Chain A
């Protein structure tokens, strides 16, 4: 069933960062997805040429509306089209939902540490939204690493969702905002130790971002005592 291509219609788009935007799509027959799953997107040129890429889904709603959030890769083939050219009313072909590993289900009651780099926030956003929508009281903590404040996706909604059960720690790797208490720098062992749920609480950890970020974070988490099996990773490397 998931192997079937479905036609979605772009309902709206929203600029998220200087290089990225979110796209809200109505896909009749979609029927929802788990938080953290991804979808294949297929574009077709007038001469029949097709290009397909996988994107994480930022939503985990039960219905036929889903949201993607895409960062423009400088030499990408599909992402510049999605970020710059796609308009409301345009049709897209989608196949999915795909993947059953990097997912969070509302039945999970244990603490969850999310660690995202840049547009790696997308599948984590689906988990944060699913957590809020289900009224889950599981402890959620997000460490979100961005180059500068303007490179963060979903900022107003993230701030709005912060609650007794969901907290956010920001890390700025290039430029920190005015008055930020710590200088800009990468996510290393010290930041992870001070700004994430400790290994002793045995959180489920989801890490998503560029390969170098994910490698460094996952290595440091294991060094801090997290069981490797409790750390799930998702990386983007291909263009």
Chain B
């Protein structure tokens, strides 16, 4: 327990088992990004996965839409301490996208339009844990929230759910991405409060 803050009572004492430590609930959907919002036309959009041999698997927007689409209901947790419960998304599972990828590497670097990167272990992208999402709350994903498509990895802090995603590269080692080079944790488990490096 920390030092007592004279006169501070705080707001809520109800322990919510779905709320990771140090988080508070919001009904808003705050926007956090490091620069201007890129605007990407779906006609020019593509998504790629590149394996260690340099082989690039590519999907156009129409090809992505032709894949099985899943409804995702999930809580999301931002490192800036807000959590939002029961968000609803539609997207394509990374299991589907990785089905034809032959790789022995265990790590990935995720790339975005606009230059953002984030590193995620492959195991955290597979097994029904991650999607390329293009709908939020029944509507196309807004550009400021990462549209036309963003990565959705809701079991990690939300900076790992790269907005404006454009591709994934297989990596032999867990190299830090953008925020991970700027003071944030290499993995980002909200339940272990892995916020900072």
Contact = CB atoms under 8 A, between A and B. Distances in A.
| A and B bind | yes
Interface of A: 2-3, 5, 7, 42-54, 77, 81, 85, 87, 90-93, 98-102, 211, 215, 218-219, 221-222, 228-229, 231-233, 235, 237-239
B182 A218 contact: no
Contacts of A237: 28, 30-32, 82
Contacts of A90: 5-6
B31 A211 contact: yes
Contacts of B82: 237-239
Contact of A51 (B24, B78, B181): B24
A93 B1 CA distance: 11
A52 B81 contact: yes
Closest 4 CB pairs of A and B: A237-B30, A218-B36, A100-B182, A44-B2
B26 A239 contact: yes
Contact of B37 (A53, A77, A87, A215): A215
A5 B196 CA distance: 13
Contacts, number: 116
B34 A233 contact: yes
Given A228-B38, A229-B115, A5 B2 contact: yes
Contacts of A239: 24, 26, 28, 82
A119 B37 CA distance: 22
Contacts of B95: none
A228 B3 contact: no
Q: Is the interface of A mostly helix, strand, loop or mixed?
A: mixed
B2 A81 contact: no
B34 A232 contact: yes
A232 B37 CA distance: 11
Nearest to B114: A228
A233 B33 contact: yes
A228 B22 contact: no
A3 B184 CA distance: 11
B7 interface: yes
A5 B9 CA distance: 20
A148 B34 CA distance: 28
B54 interface: no
Contacts of B115: 228-229
A52 B35 CA distance: 25
Nearest to B115: A229
Contacts of B4: 44-46
Contacts of A81: 5, 7-8
A16 B53 CA distance: 59
B144 interface: yes
A98 B183 contact: yes
B8 A238 contact: no
Interface in B114-135: 114-115
Nearest to A100: B182
Contacts of B17: none
A238 B181 contact: no
17 contacts: A47-B13, A49-B13, A54-B81, A77-B24, A81-B5, A81-B8, A99-B182, A101-B179, A102-B34, A211-B144, A215-B31, A221-B36, A233-B36, A235-B31, A235-B33, A238-B28, A239-B82
A77 B81 CA distance: 13
B10 interface: yes
Q: Which of B2, B32, B35, B37 has the most CB of A within 10 A?
A: B35
Q: Which of B11, B78, B114, B115 has the most CB of A within 10 A?
A: B11
A45 B7 CA distance: 8
B80 interface: yes
Given A51-B24, A238-B82, A43 B31 contact: no
A215 B81 CA distance: 21
Given A54-B81, A101-B182, 14 more contacts: A44-B5, A45-B9, A81-B5, A98-B183, A99-B183, A101-B34, A218-B36, A229-B35, A232-B35, A233-B34, A233-B36, A238-B24, A238-B26, A238-B81
